[in-house]
Amino acid sequence: MTTTLDVMGQVCPFPLVEAKEAIEKISAGDELVINFDCTQATESIPRWAAESGYEVTNFEQLGEAAWTISIKKN
């Protein structure tokens, strides 16, 4: 199952804070897709995922200042 978290327009660290809360609510094996436009989160979210043992399955730039990242909960 895939859950989408849209945090466009939120300044850091809120996209990361919301991602941490959202991933707690999904089941192991599910994916959390985070859409964001905070430049700092391009580093903080992947780093948090790696440190937490989650797999980043997709990370791409959507526009000039927007990104999407998919994190699989193990």
What are the pLDDT digits (tens) for 21-46? 999 999 999 999 999 999 999 999 99
Sign of CA dihedral 40, 28, 59, 53: positive
Q: Give the active site residues.
A: 12
Task: Please state the pTM of the whole predicted model.
Answer: 0.96
Per-residue pLDDT band for 56 (boundaries 50, 70, 90) equals: very high
Residues 29 and 44: their CA atoms lie apart, in Å, by 22
Q: Where are the beta strands (DSSP E) in the chain?
A: 2-6, 31-36, 55-63, 66-72
Residue in the block written with tokens 């780093």: 47
For residues 43-63, average pLDDT:
97
